[in-house]
Amino acid sequence: MFVDVLSHVFRGKNAPEDQVITEEMKARAKISYDVLSAFKVVPGLHEGKIDSRKLSEWVVKARALATDRGLGDIGDQRIGFVLAHAPPDADEPFWPPPAVCQVIEAAASNNVERGFAIECFNKRGVYSKGINEGGNEERGFAERYKGWADATLKYPRTSAILMAISDDWRRSSERADIEAEKSKLKF
């Protein structure tokens, strides 16, 4: 079903270039996009724990079906989106939980990792800053992701993604600090 919904939103690599897009197709694409955006429950999640076998099977099958339809790259990105919504494992000092780390390592896909990283930023949602606020919140995010990166070294791809996210948050904090300083000069 994941790949069917995906195919309503995105054009596969093997889709005809001259395909006429009807109003019905546009409506289906909008609804399907909303469904994809709402899909935030990691497959295999049951009572707060992720069954790594079920998650792995889902990812392998979804990737194969998406590739068959010419949707491999965007399918991988949307899988990364879903993985970014994994709840923490109470038994582990890091996030994402081991089942997700194992899937990221096994997939070894830049697009899964890209989708994961993008959604980690987007999960912040809409926010506003006070005048002169600076980048304290972003620094906090950077520290959190760095801590997780350090704790997941046995999952090298996952650790690298988390470190890259930490670096992006650090750069965001620096930009926010600069903007705060500029706003002080205006008054």
Half-sphere exposure of 124 (CA within 13 A, CB side): 16
147 and 173 together in one domain? yes
In the predicted structure, residue 2 carries a pLDDT above the cut 90: yes
Establish if 115 belongs to a structural domain: no
Question: pLDDT tens digit string along 167-182?
Answer: 999 999 999 999 898 8
93 and 155 together in one domain? no
147 and 82 together in one domain? no
pLDDT at 99: 97
Q: Could you count the other beta carbons within 10 Å of the beta carbon of residue 56?
A: 18
Over the chain, what is the mean pLDDT?
A: 94
CA 89, 95, 101, 107 dihedral sign is positive
Establish if 113 belongs to a structural domain: no
- Cβ atoms of 123 and 84 closer than 8 Å: yes
Among 76, 108, 140, the domain boundary falls at 108
Domain that holds residue 56: 1-108
11 and 42 together in one domain? yes
pLDDT higher at 59 or 184: 59
Among 108, 138, 169, the domain boundary falls at 108
pLDDT at 15: 80
- Cβ atoms of 15 and 70 closer than 8 Å: yes
Distance CA 32, CA 6 (A): 7
99 and 19 together in one domain? yes
82 and 11 together in one domain? yes
45 and 2 together in one domain? yes
10 and 63 together in one domain? yes
In the predicted structure, residue 87 carries a pLDDT above the cut 90: yes
Q: Into how many domains does the chain fold? A: 2
Among 79, 108, 137, the domain boundary falls at 108
Rounded to an integer, the average pLDDT of 11-20 is: 84
Rounded to an integer, the average pLDDT of 20-48 is: 94
Question: pLDDT tens digit string along 109-142?
Answer: 999 999 999 999 999 988 888 778 899 999 999 9
Residue 187's pLDDT band, with cuts at 50, 70 and 90, is: low
In the predicted structure, residue 83 carries a pLDDT above the cut 80: yes
88 and 13 together in one domain? yes
